[in-house]
Amino acid sequence: MPFIRESWYPAGWSAALGAEPVARTFLGDEVVLYRAENGDPVALANTCPHRFAALAKGKLHGDAIACPYHGLRFGPDGRCVHNPHGPATGAMRVRSYPLVERHGMMWIWMGDAAHADPAGIPVLSAREDARFDWVDGYLYVEGNYQLVIDNLLDLTHVEFLHPFLADPTDTFPTEVTCFEQGDEVVSRYTRPQCNRTQLVAGLWDEAPEVISLMSEMRWSAPANLIQRNGFDVALHTDMDNTHAQVPLCHLLTPETELTTHYFWAGGRNLKRGDEQIAQGFRFGVEGAFKGEDEPMIADIQQRMRGRDLFEMKPLLLPIDKSAVLARRRVSDLLKREAG
């Protein structure tokens, strides 16, 4: 299965890459991530060109990583900088991937390195906004990334799949609108009235039992989704001014055709600096993503048995509009790269 390669993909939260090299597969490519002496992150192909040992199992020597088998060392640009058995020649090299840190995330470019322009890295403005405290996390999904996008662009599942995030006794209506805006596909959920949920009650002490909610998910290719949630006593159309705000980032990188790296971050503007709330928030989000979404996506993938979604002629509901728009854009981008 082809992937969109000419794009920046999340490779890992910056804080998660320490002194030890880490092996990770992106778009089917095996990569080793490590930090150079000045702290800059480096991404190289993980396979030594000599006898294909995993470089990630080797040791760092200054800015270079040494193969654990016969000791060739490769620098951040992928060139061999030390050959214990003779001269280091230009033919001794591994692929080096552009890697840039921004918004607490390492972004890797999986396409032609000559096209890697950091200006194209997704802007996560809420991550730079001092009003929010963040909890970052990671989830390994046994599912194709497009199934994860389908899941996130249709949050009507929350009511059925996530009891912690929704109140199943809530009968107030939700208005769902799906539209395209520039490079983004948007799903917007408007609830002038809804029951206060456990999550909201935990963050907002004075929340009345019935509140209002505005929620929005913005997808941009290939697989970055930025969600904003605003809770208040009465409906605000300007989400920036709602009383309780919970922005979320869902940043996906296909590992293989069947598996996905899912990096998530949850922000909050209330009870900042409260470690207990941060733990509860993590527990709630992980419970939903890991305990409820991931098993559902993995199960659906198994049930699809390798068939294409549209070949299976799914029943299409109005709430599917965003997911269908996003899939169409992905397939257009794939065609453009192939053509």
Q: For binding to ligand FES (CB under 6 A), which residues are involved?
A: 48, 50-51, 53, 67, 69-72
If phi > 0 it is left, if psi is from -120 to 50 it is alpha, else beta; for residue 306 that is left
Nearer CB in complex with ligand FES: 72/178 = 72
Distances (CA, A) of 8 to 68, 100, 248: 30, 9, 19
Give least dist CB 296 to Fe ion, A: 8
Which of ligand FES, Fe ion, none has residue 138 at its interface (CB below 5 to 8 Å by kind)?
none
Q: Which does 67 bind (CB under 5 to 8 A by kind): Fe ion, ligand FES, none?
A: ligand FES
List the single partner that 72 binds among Fe ion, ligand FES, none, CB under 5 to 8 Å by kind.
Answer: ligand FES
Residue 53 binding target from ligand FES, Fe ion, none, CB below 5 to 8 Å by type: ligand FES
Q: Smaller CB distance to ligand FES: residue 52 or 310?
A: 52
Cβ proximity to ligand FES, 46 vs 253, nearer residue: 46
CB of 17 to Fe ion, least distance (A): 28
Ranges of beta strands (E only) in the chain are 8-13, 22-26, 29-35, 41-45, 60-61, 64-66, 73-74, 80-82, 96-97, 99-102, 105-109, 133-141, 175-181, 184-195, 210-220, 224-232, 244-245, 248-254, 260-268
Distance of closest approach, residue 67 Cβ to ligand FES, in angstroms? 3
Nearest distance, CB of residue 251 and Fe ion, angstroms: 15
Return the number of the residue (44 or 153) whose C-beta is nearest Fe ion.
Answer: 153
Residue 66: which of Fe ion, ligand FES, none does it interact with, CB under 5 to 8 A by kind? none
Q: Shortest CA distance to 214 belongs to which of 246, 185, 183, 184?
A: 246
- Which CB, 83 or 259, lies closer to ligand FES? 83
Least distance in angstroms from the C-beta of 71 to ligand FES? 6
How many CB atoms neighbour CB 274 within 10 A?
15
Q: How far is CA 104 from CA 22, 78, 101, in A?
A: 17, 24, 7
Q: Which is nearer to Fe ion, 47 or 227 (CB)?
A: 227
Bridge partner residues of 23 (DSSP)? 32
Beta carbons within 10 angstroms of residue 196's beta carbon: 17
CB of 154 vs Fe ion, minimal distance in Å: 9
Task: Identify what 184 binds: ligand FES, Fe ion, none; CB under 5 to 8 Å per kind.
Answer: none
Question: With b meaning 16 or more CB within 10 Å and e meaning fewer, what string describes 223-257?
Answer: bbbbbbbbbbeeeeeebeebbbbbbbbbbbbbbee
Pick what 69 binds: Fe ion, ligand FES, none; C-beta below 5 to 8 Å, kind-dependent: ligand FES
Residue 47 CB, nearest approach to ligand FES (Å): 9
Q: Which residues bind Fe ion (CB under 5 A)?
A: 293
**Contact of residue 293 among Fe ion, ligand FES, none (CB under 5-8 Å per partner type):** Fe ion
Interacting residues of 208 by C-beta distance below 8 A, sequence separation 6+: 196, 233
At residue 328, φ and ψ (nearest 5 deg) are -65, -45
> How far separated are the first and last CA of the chain, in Å rounded?
15
Task: Give whichever of 64 and 194 is closer to ligand FES, judged by the CB atom.
Answer: 64
> In the complex with ligand FES, which residue's Cβ is closer, 70 or 115?
70
What whole-number distance in Å separates Cα of residue 107 and Cα of residue 223? 13
CB of 163 to Fe ion, least distance (A): 12
